[in-house]
Amino acid sequence: MQLPGIWQYYDAENTPLSLGMRVGALATGPGGQVWVEVVQPLVSDIGVFRYYDAQTKGIMLYDNGNWTLFQLAQMDLPQPMGTVDLACDHAGYLWVHLAPSPGTSVLCRFHGETSTLYQGHDTGLPSDMGTLKGFASDREDRFWAAMGSLGAYYFNGVRWHRFDKVDCFPEGGWVSGIASDEANQLWFGLQSKAESLFIQYVDGHCKLITTAPIGYERAQIGALAIDSNGNLWVGWYDWSGKSRLGLWVWSTLAGKWTKYTSRNSAIADDQVSDIAFDSAGRTWVVTAGGLTIIDGKDSVSWGAIVPGIQHRPISQEEASPLMDEAIMKGEPPPFVFIGGKVASDSRGNIWTTSANGVAVFSRTA
| Model pLDDT for residues 120-166, shown as the tens digit of each residue | 888 999 888 878 899 999 989 999 999 998 999 999 999 999 998 86
8 sits in which H/E element: strand 5-10
The answer as to whether 251 is a domain residue is yes
Report if residue 107 sits inside a domain: yes
Q: Which of 296, 292, 291 is nearest to 227 (CA)?
A: 296
- pLDDT, tens digit (0-9, with 9 covering 90-100), for 294-345: 998 899 999 999 999 999 999 888 998 988 899 899 998 889 999 999 999 9
- Residue 29: CATH number of its domain: 2.130.10.10
pLDDT on residue 281: 92
Contact 166/152 with Cβ under 8 angstroms?
no
At residue 233's C-alpha, the angle toward residues 229 and 238, to 5°, is 180
Identify whether 176 is part of a domain.
yes
Residue 24 domain boundaries: 14-278
Which residue type occupies 41?
P
Alpha-carbon distance 317 to 266, whole Å? 12
Percent of the chain residues past pLDDT 90, beyond the cut = 61
71 vs 195, higher pLDDT: 71
Q: How far apart are CA 70 and CA 112, in angstroms?
A: 10
Give residue 103's pLDDT: 75
| Interatomic CA distance for residues 365 and 358, integer angstroms | 22
Distance CA 261, CA 270 (A): 6
Helices (H), the chain: 316-329
When the pLDDT of each residue in the chain is averaged and rounded to a whole number, the result is 89
227/249 Cα distance (integer angstroms): 10
Overall domain count for the chain: 1
The answer to whether residue 159 sits within a structural domain is yes
27 lies in some domain: yes
| Any domain includes 118 | yes
Residue 89 lies in a domain: yes
Domain assignment present for 288: no
pLDDT in tens, 254-263: 999 999 999 9
The verdict on pTM exceeding 0.85 is: yes
